[in-house]
Amino acid sequence: MASTSSPLTSSSLVRAPFSCITITRTPSRRNSTRHRKRGFSPSSKKATTVRPQCGPASALEYRKLGYSDLVLSEITLGTMTFGEQNTEEEAHEMLAYAFEQGVNAIDTAEAYPIPVRKETQGRTDLYTGSWLKSQPRDKVILATKVCGYSERSSYLRENANVLRVDAANIKESVEKSLKRLNTDYIDLLQIHWPDRYVALFGEYSYDPSTWRPSVPVVEQLRAFQELIDEGRKHTNLVQVRYLGVSNETSYGVMEFVHTAKVEGLPKIVSIQNNYSLLISCKFEIDLVEVCHPNNCNIGLLAYSPLAGGSLSGKYLDVQSEAARKGRLNLFPGYMERYNKSLAKEATSKYMELAKKHGLTSLQLALGFVRDRPFMTSSIIGATSVAQLKEDIDAFLTTERPLPSEEATIKYVELAKKRGLTPVQLALGFARDRPFMMSSIIGATSVEQLKEDIDAFWTTRRPLPSEVMTDIESVFNRYRDPAFS
């Protein structure tokens, strides 16, 4: 077994892999113009960001997961290729490299590797566990997943025809996972997909005719509570620290949150869903609101931020060696939604956009996901250290966020600090320039025009000197950021 120093209470802090860290409060990015256009509203909630102050040089940020005390690196290492496309030695090399770069979280699952096969099931955990054995356990945030409803993977249990998310299945899953992973506890246990029917893995819309009876959420949560109580009773050790869901909907999340509140049961702290430039609307339509820190406070762990590798552009040339060796072609039927013509067309457009702005396709795709205001961590997997290095480098070398957006954020913060609206600050600045004759203002409605003109009339003339000093400091840092 790995050396353990399991946290017994929710008040303890899982440390990032640094000898010391500083937690700073940074203003939310939800006020940016781009976010407002996509339907995000300003929030008074502050995002907690943890930045290394000593130890290995790293530009990765660390973010608190929901209401838990888990502080994750903004990259979580995905492991689903371990045992299928990667040997144990290769898996260890990637794990070592990721943690050297400041990654502190691993995501695995009892069903891995992918594709799910009886012959290989469990290898991912075994490879991860053999590496974990030699690591200081309290420096690693370990997330795994218990399978949802499945008629095809019953071999995962000793005596079952169908996998369900009930007490017996959950207990057996956790016991086997702990053994394979060489550990005494799991930091985050996630339900891989729901016990009830939902539109999954490329199925876009819900089919009402496919509804089936499912294990009640209260029963699922009680099973997790029993696991926690059982661990404390026998070993004074919490075997499962926190709970999360995956491939969930707003309905499902609210069911878990409401049931936990009413019944006094463990609350979920995370949701692991598909999120990328090719798949974002399903989360942004309503899960953003549900998971908001001021609402249910649930952290998003985004899987497939590169859309199964599609956003690297390697599948656009179907004859290329990279395309032939890619998993979308190695495993026919796997993530076939990314091989559709519309997805390829979108990928091509994004590659053109990246080139226009001097970015690689990886930088654009991963930078987009990284900078979403609701993102906790992006789950990134690879089949080689070289590929993993390229992905992590894309995180570290892409400006965060894009300069023009960052400047907007700073000006919005400045306006709020000085008791002004962003419109008052912007128009007041232009109005008071000593060389200004007239500002040309356009609008798409009388209401919008009224707001603009009111900003002229209601803003102190000239703007106070302290406001101009603040504006100058932002301007000097982001001089003409929108210029191209």
Positions annotated as catalytic residues are: 112
**Residue pair 303/248 in contact by the 8 Å Cβ criterion:** no
Q: Which residues contact 255 (CB under 8 A, 6 or more apart)?
A: 217
**CA distance readout (Å), 159 to 180, 188, 213:** 19, 26, 21
Contact 198, 247 (CB under 8 A): yes
How far apart (Å, rounded) are the C-alpha atoms in residues 283 and 273? 8
Burial tier of 347 (Cβ tally within 10 Å: 0-12, 13-18, 19+): buried
Torsions phi, psi for 152 (to 5 deg): -100, -15
Strand arrangement of the beta sheet that strand 71-73 belongs to = 21-26, 47-52, 62-64, 71-73
Distance from the Cα of residue 278 to its chain's centroid: 15
376 contacts 303 by C-beta, under 8 angstroms: no
Radius of gyration of the chain (CA): 24
Residue whose C-alpha is closest to residue 190's, from 16, 68, 98, 290: 68
14 three-state secondary structure: coil
- Angle 348-349-355 from CA coordinates, rounded to 5°: 90
**362, two tokens:** 């990886």
Composition of the chain by helix, strand, coil, percent to 5: 40, 15, 45
Half-sphere exposure of 233 (CA within 13 A, CB side): 6
